[in-house]
Structure formats: structure tokens, C-alpha cells
Amino acid sequence: MLKDSKFSSHLLHLSQLQIINHKTLDEYRDRLKTYEDYLWFGKPEKISAIECARRGWACQASDSIECMNCHAQILAQLPSVLKIDEYTESIENTARSLVDSHHRYCVWKFMIIPESIIQLTDIYSNETINKFIQEAEEFLSQINQIDIVGQLKTLFHIEPTDFDLLSSTHLNDSRLLSAFKIVVFCWKLKNSLLTCDKCCREIHIDINHLVFDPILSHRAWCPVLKNNQWKKRIEQIENILHEKSRHKLEEIKTTHDQTEQILPDIISTQNLFHELISSKEYYRSCVQSTFVDNTSTSDDMDHSTKNSMST
């Protein structure tokens, strides 16, 4: 084994970690991808794939993980859940070793990928929704037909008109709506590979016709599914859209109120118009009767003329 001083010079240090932030996140996602369900199976939350990966560990074999920086290793074969005490103790020990097993100078002994990267962030603004709409547009540019299946088909109520309130670019496009329902649940599409930003599940898709369940396609331990965070996200989006709709309706109402101020004039004009109509009808009836009278006069005249001519 290398001496501490020599060994530590090979290790990633805290200052480096702060500088190479993007690289650090990419490496975190690379580690996360190694946790195949059949390798890291049935692990509780304390030692889940995410908890291990965010502390520098990658899965190397069945129940076996290794630090990608100091190369320490942990074997986590849990006893049966029926032996509850042993099982709980084993989980506690493994959870502790996620920190303790790192080399004393390994950065992952002190560092952890922050919660904000792992969890779904709350959505409070139209700007975030507009960002998702842009992502959905990019998503659509790569794909022909999308069919959403599963709970989102009925649970997520967005009307195409809701988008009209937020984005002036288009709308009434059901394809955009479907793409939106995919991107808001952390799916990114690149070269026919659909990847979850949170659990790093990768799915090869048919870009001509995507039939997709944006929720159940996540890995069982994905933060999107944890504590029904996906339902919370739906609620937040619906609230923003409905709030926006309400503002829009208030605007319309204000315009309507202004309209109401001039409405009496219109109504009085309408009444006048009706009066005019009745007057006109009265006038017409008068004219008609006059016309009838005239006709009879004319007939009389004709008759008299005829008589005079015949005479």
C-alpha cells in the first residue's frame, strides 16, 4: 500500500472538486449508471444507488461498490429482512462505511453531491414552465409521433389553451403537450436515447413513434418517484397555469367591466333601434295602407279613365 503522503497526491482534492463542477456532476451520473437493478438489488434508501453514488461509490459487481477516487471497496450483502435486528444493523454499518471506508485523504470522505442536484426542484414561475416548453419543442424536432401511456394520460390536466397564456409562439398542438409531459419529468432525448436526468435510466426509442410512460419508466429508486414528487410537480405546474389563467380572466373581466360602462349606451341605442323598428313598421303599415288606398285610387282612376275613354 502507498504511503499516505504519496497516496494523497493522487487523490482529488476539495478545491479541485469545486472548480470542476460540471465534470463532477457528469462523473456522479456515470457512477449512478453503474447501479443496475440486478447488481444493487433491494437496497433500502439509506444505502440506495443514489446515496452511494453521491458519496463517490460506483457499483462494480453484485452487492459490491468501489470508490472511483481512492478505490476503497464495500461489500453489502444484507441478511434476510426476516432477521430484522441483523438486517437493520447491517444497513447502519454499510451506511456508516459509505463515509468511513474512504481513504483518510479521499475527498469523498468530506464531500457529498448536494441534495439540490438529486431532488426535483420546486416550480414557482412561468419562466420555468416556458423553459420546459422550449425543451418540449426541441424534443419534438427529433421525433414524429408521441403517445403518452400510464397515469399521466388522465392525471395531468393541461389544456393547449393553457400554453397560449404563457407562450405566444404557438399552439393547440397535442404533440407539444405530450412532449411537455415527458420533459417535465426529467427526460432528455439525444440521438434516439432517452435518459432520465435523476436516475440515469437510458432507453433506446423509436423516433418515428414513441409510446411512453414518463413515470413508470424511471428506476424504482428515482427521486422523481420518491415521496410522489412527480405528483407534487404536476400540482405546482397546474397551479401556475391556473393562476395565470385566473389573471388572464381577471384581465378579460377588467376589459369586460370597461365594456359594461359603455354598455348602457349600446342598450339604449338598441332600444332606440327597436323603437325605430317599431316606428318603421308602423310607418310601413301606414305606407302600405296608403299604397293600398293609392292602388284603389289608381284603379278607380284607371277605371274612370277607361270609362272616360270608352265614352
Residues near Zn ion (CB under 5 A) are 67, 69-70, 102, 106, 108, 196, 198-199, 218, 222, 224
Any long-range contacts for 112-119 (C-beta under 8 Å, 24+ apart)? 112/54, 112/55, 113/24, 113/25, 113/28, 113/53, 113/54, 113/55, 117/25, 117/28, 118/50, 118/54, 118/198, 118/223, 119/223, 119/226, 119/229
For Zn ion, which is the closer residue by CB, 31 or 198?
198
> Considering the complex, what minimum distance in angstroms separates the CB of residue 36 from Zn ion?
14
Beta carbon nearer to Zn ion, 67 or 234: 67
Least distance CB 229 / Zn ion (angstroms): 10
Residue (188 or 248) nearer to Zn ion, CB: 188
CB of residue 228 to Zn ion, shortest distance in Å: 14
CB of 211 to Zn ion, least distance (A): 18
CB of 67 to Zn ion, least distance (A): 3
**Which residue lies nearer to Zn ion by CB, 23 or 83?**
23
C-alpha cell at 121: 426542484
Instruction: State the Cα–Cα distance between residues 214 and 16, nearest whole angstrom.
Output: 36
Nearest CB to Zn ion, comparing residues 70 and 237: 70
Sorted by sequence, the CB contacts under 8 Å of residue 162 that are 6+ apart come out as 241, 244, 245
Could you give the CA distance from residue 78 to residue 28 in angstroms, rounded to a whole number?
A: 25
